[in-house]
């Protein structure tokens, strides 16, 4: 009897395959760690070789400086130098002291063969007092840095240059153009510096560097601050431009690439304080692609460089990479094959169910899954077929949802809609709500509806009554004035509908609004216009009723003036009052009279003069005018009224006694 393999067992087997993932993760971690370890070993080894070589050269230079300083501090050397630098020393004494110095130099030279040529010069004038070479030095070394530093009491190393006198090479054969350098030290007596001791050293004595044998292509050499070689590297390419570079590269071969004619990357990154390492690789002066390390040599301006061809340096790491990647690749391929096989086995019945689901989405309820297996998927298939049969008797949910969506869309397009929860917080606001309130949806959602309230229009009792109605489940209808984000008011015709949940409890309130702000504004304008018309009619009657008695008063006042019954002060007060009443009456009628503007260019300064001349100004008021002659474009008659009002207001402000300044200027 064939026992079917259940899906739980298949899943268990799949989990066993997936357990290979931690194994791969461990392999990747091991790979990264191993590569990093090998790289660190290479880095440390390269730095160690460079630092060891740098320290060795530094120790040699320091020892040479100490030897020169020891000679300069010898009593015989100090006393003999003092005699030689004294212009009053006689010839016999002079030669005797020279002989003393030659003996001292001979003793030091025998114990230190590297000390080849001794020179003592006068610190005051640079005159050479003694030298031990076959010929006097041809170099003007007194102007060099090492000599100048010795004058300041320091022991200093000079730069490397080619000898002009025959000097022994690395084979002991004397020849010219051998790289040499000077070290100068002060010969200090009791009262100061008596002389400057300069000793010549052969660079070939220190540049025969022992090369490491850890790598076949390793190369170590010394360079000066200008990138010129001061030692002969182990490997020199056959592509060098001159055979002389191969035998005597010092001060001729430079750390410049042949392809770009630029300094090599390692030399360009040199640091005077610490080692610099380059494992990325670069082209060196011989056209090789190498990795390298550069270290400053203390007591000098030189650097010590070690280079290895990158292909050899990373050969072990590359082999390790290939091996580990091969193992990981084999594991991944195996796992992929197994995963593919079991994926096909697992997904075949699921794809059948998916196909059946797609048919149902299209409205085909007659589909069958066709899966007859006795495992979990087979049971699922049977339940799926049962579900399809039940769906045939159900309402078309998709159609109902479509109707609801269309209704909601129609409502959103035609009205201002918002939804608040039972606590009064906004849950939803459509675009029209945001537009009229001038808030964004992010600013509204989660906030209370209170942020829109207009307490200036509606009292707190209005909103309390509204909540009392809708909290009982009833629909509320009415007009509400709200405040937008910018402070402007807007009116809505509102219907608030409570929505209940399945338990019959209110869960939210839906508000449907229509903007009636324009209607409200239009109504206010009509009311204002009606009131304005009534005021106009009343003003006309008042004008008629007031002008007639005012004319009688004016005539009687004129008779009184002719009969000289009133004094000047009384005449002025009465005249001013009559003018003020007439002026105010004309202002009211001008305001109510809707007359068009008569625009023209006129002289504002002349108009001001005419207005002042026409006014009855109290004797206690003095009016001064100032400013340039100005022309303006406008209604001259209305400007005349404005100036009259302005001056009368000023007269009232000073209470008929004072000084008024009227200034006309451009703005």
**Span of 9-13, 370-374, 375-379, 618-622 with lowest mean pLDDT:** 9-13
More confident residue, 615 or 254: 254
* pLDDT value, residue 126: 85
- Asked whether the predicted pLDDT for residue 399 surpasses 70, the reply is no
Residues in the chain, total: 667
Give me 581's structure tokens.
């009443």
Contact present, 425 and 448 (Cβ < 8 Å)? yes
* pLDDT band at 411; cut points 50, 70, 90: confident
Domains and CATH numbers, the chain: 73-205 (3.30.450.20), 210-317 (3.30.450), 318-391 (no CATH), 406-515 (3.30.450.20), 523-664 (3.30.565)
* pLDDT value, residue 243: 47
* pLDDT band at 244; cut points 50, 70, 90: very low
**Span of 96-100, 118-122, 351-355, 543-547 with lowest mean pLDDT:** 543-547
* pLDDT value, residue 89: 86
pLDDT digits (tens, 9 = 90+) for 54-70: 899 899 889 989 999 99
Q: Residues 496-510: what's their mean pLDDT?
A: 88
pLDDT digits (tens, 9 = 90+) for 80-95: 999 998 888 888 898 9
Most confident option among 103-107, 554-558, 572-576: 103-107
Alpha helices in 486-628 (DSSP H): 517-563, 568-592, 604-614
Residues of the chain with pLDDT > 90, as a percent, come to 12
Contact present, 309 and 235 (Cβ < 8 Å)? no
Enumerate helices (H) and strands (E) in the chain, giving the number of each.
18, 21
376-391 vs 7-18: helix crossing angle, rounded to 10:
120
* pLDDT value, residue 353: 67
More confident residue, 400 or 153: 153
Q: Residues 314-341: what's their mean pLDDT?
A: 72
More confident residue, 620 or 561: 620
Give Rg (Cα) of the chain. 56
* pLDDT value, residue 546: 67
How far apart, in whole angstroms, are the C-alpha atoms of residue 172 and residue 209?
Answer: 18
Looking at every residue in the chain, the average pLDDT score rounds to 79
How far apart, in whole angstroms, are the C-alpha atoms of residue 181 and residue 402?
Answer: 98
pLDDT digits (tens, 9 = 90+) for 126-135: 888 898 887 7
* pLDDT value, residue 3: 45
* pLDDT band at 178; cut points 50, 70, 90: confident
How far apart, in whole angstroms, are the C-alpha atoms of residue 212 and residue 49?
Answer: 7
Token pair 């357990």 is found at 19
* pLDDT value, residue 436: 87
Token pair 């200008």 is found at 226
* H or E, element range at 102: helix 91-111
How far apart, in whole angstroms, are the C-alpha atoms of residue 611 and residue 606?
Answer: 9
How many CB atoms are located within 10 Å of the residue 309 CB?
20
- Asked whether the predicted pLDDT for residue 592 surpasses 50, the reply is yes
* pLDDT value, residue 8: 45
* pLDDT value, residue 238: 47
Q: Residues 592-610: what's their mean pLDDT?
A: 77
**Span of 293-302, 376-385, 463-472 with lowest mean pLDDT:** 376-385
pLDDT digits (tens, 9 = 90+) for 217-235: 888 889 988 889 888 777 6
More confident residue, 214 or 229: 229
Alpha helices in 248-396 (DSSP H): 265-268, 310-313, 315-361, 376-391
pLDDT digits (tens, 9 = 90+) for 424-453: 899 898 888 898 888 998 988 998 888 888
How far apart, in whole angstroms, are the C-alpha atoms of residue 471 and residue 462?
Answer: 14
- Asked whether the predicted pLDDT for residue 531 surpasses 80, the reply is no
pLDDT digits (tens, 9 = 90+) for 563-588: 777 777 677 667 766 766 776 666 66
The per-residue b/e assignment along 98-121, b for 16 or more CB within 10 angstroms, e otherwise, is bebbeebbeebbeebeebbbbbbb
* pLDDT band at 188; cut points 50, 70, 90: very high
């Amino acid at each position: 009897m064939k026992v079917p393999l259940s899906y739980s067992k298949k899943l268990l087997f799949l989990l066993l395959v997936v357990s290979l993932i931690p194994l791969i993760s461990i392999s990747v971690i091991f790979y990264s760690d191993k590569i990093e370890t090998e790289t660190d070993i290479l880095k440390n080894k390269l730095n160690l070789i460079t630092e060891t070589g740098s320290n060795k050269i530094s120790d040699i230079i320091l020892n040479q400086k100490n030897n020169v300083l020891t000679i300069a501090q010898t009593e015989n050397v100090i006393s003999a130098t003092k005699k030689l630098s004294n212009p009053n020393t006689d010839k016999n004494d002079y030669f005797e002291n020279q002989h003393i110095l030659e003996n001292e130099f001979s003793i030091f030279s025998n114990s230190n063969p590297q000390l080849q040529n001794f020179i003592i010069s006068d610190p005051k004038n640079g005159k050479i007092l003694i030298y031990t070479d076959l010929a006097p030095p041809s170099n003007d070394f007194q102007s060099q840095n090492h000599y100048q530093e010795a004058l300041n009491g320091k022991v200093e190393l000079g730069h490397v240059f080619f000898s002009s006198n025959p000097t022994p090479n690395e084979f002991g054969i004397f020849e010219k153009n051998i790289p040499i350098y000077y070290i100068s030290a002060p010969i200090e007596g009791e009262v100061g510096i008596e002389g400057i001791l300069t000793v010549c050293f052969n660079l070939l004595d220190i540049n025969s560097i022992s090369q490491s044998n850890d790598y076949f292509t390793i190369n170590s050499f010394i360079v000066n601050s200008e990138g010129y070689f001061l030692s002969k590297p182990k490997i020199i390419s056959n592509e060098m431009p001159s055979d002389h570079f191969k035998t005597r590269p010092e001060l001729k071969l430079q750390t410049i690439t042949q392809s770009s004619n630029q300094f090599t990357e390692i030399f360009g990154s040199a640091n005077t304080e610490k080692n610099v390492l380059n494992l990325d690789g670069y082209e060196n002066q011989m056209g090789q692609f190498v990795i390298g390390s550069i270290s400053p040599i203390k007591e000098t301006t030189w650097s010590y460089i070690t280079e290895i061809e990158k292909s050899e340096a990373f050969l072990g790491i590359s082999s390790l990479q290939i091996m580990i990647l091969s193992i990981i690749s084999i594991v991944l391929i195996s796992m992929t094959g197994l995963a593919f096989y079991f994926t096909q086995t697992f997904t075949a019945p699921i794809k059948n169910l998916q196909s059946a689901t797609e048919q149902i989405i299209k409205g085909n309820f007659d589909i069958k899954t066709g899966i007859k297996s006795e495992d979990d998927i087979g049971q699922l298939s049977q339940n799926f077929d049962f579900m399809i049969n039940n769906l045939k008797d159900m309402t078309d949910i998709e159609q109902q949802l479509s109707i609801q969506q269309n209704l909601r869309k129609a409502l959103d397009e035609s009205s201002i809609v918002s939804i608040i929860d039972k606590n009064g917080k906004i849950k939803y606001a459509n675009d029209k709500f945001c537009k009229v309130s001038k808030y964004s949806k992010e600013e509204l959602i989660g906030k209370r509806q209170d942020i829109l309230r207009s307490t200036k229009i509606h009292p707190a009792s209005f909103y309390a009554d509204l909540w009392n109605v809708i909290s009982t489940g009833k629909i509320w209808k009415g007009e509400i004035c709200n405040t937008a984000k910018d402070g402007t008011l807007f009116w809505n015709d509102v219907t608030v509908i409570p929505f209940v949940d399945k338990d019959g409890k209110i869960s939210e309130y839906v508000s449907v609004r229509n903007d009636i702000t324009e209607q409200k504004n239009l109504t206010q304008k009509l009311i204002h216009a009606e009131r304005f018309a009534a005021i106009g009619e009343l003003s006309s009657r008042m004008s008629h009723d007031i002008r007639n008695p005012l004319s009688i008063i004016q005539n009687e006042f004129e008779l009184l003036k002719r009969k000289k019954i009133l004094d000047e002060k009384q005449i002025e007060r009465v005249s001013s009052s009559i003018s003020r009443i007439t002026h105010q009456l004309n202002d009211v009628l001008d305001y109510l009279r809707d007359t068009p503007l008569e625009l023209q260019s006129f002289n504002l300064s002349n108009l001001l003069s005419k207005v002042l001349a026409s006014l009855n100004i109290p004797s206690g008021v003095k009016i001064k005018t100032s400013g340039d002659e100005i022309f303006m474009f406008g209604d001259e008659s209305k400007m005349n009224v404005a100036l009259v009002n302005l001056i009368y207001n000023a007269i009232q402000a000073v209470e008929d006694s004072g000084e008024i300044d009227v200034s006309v200027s451009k703005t």
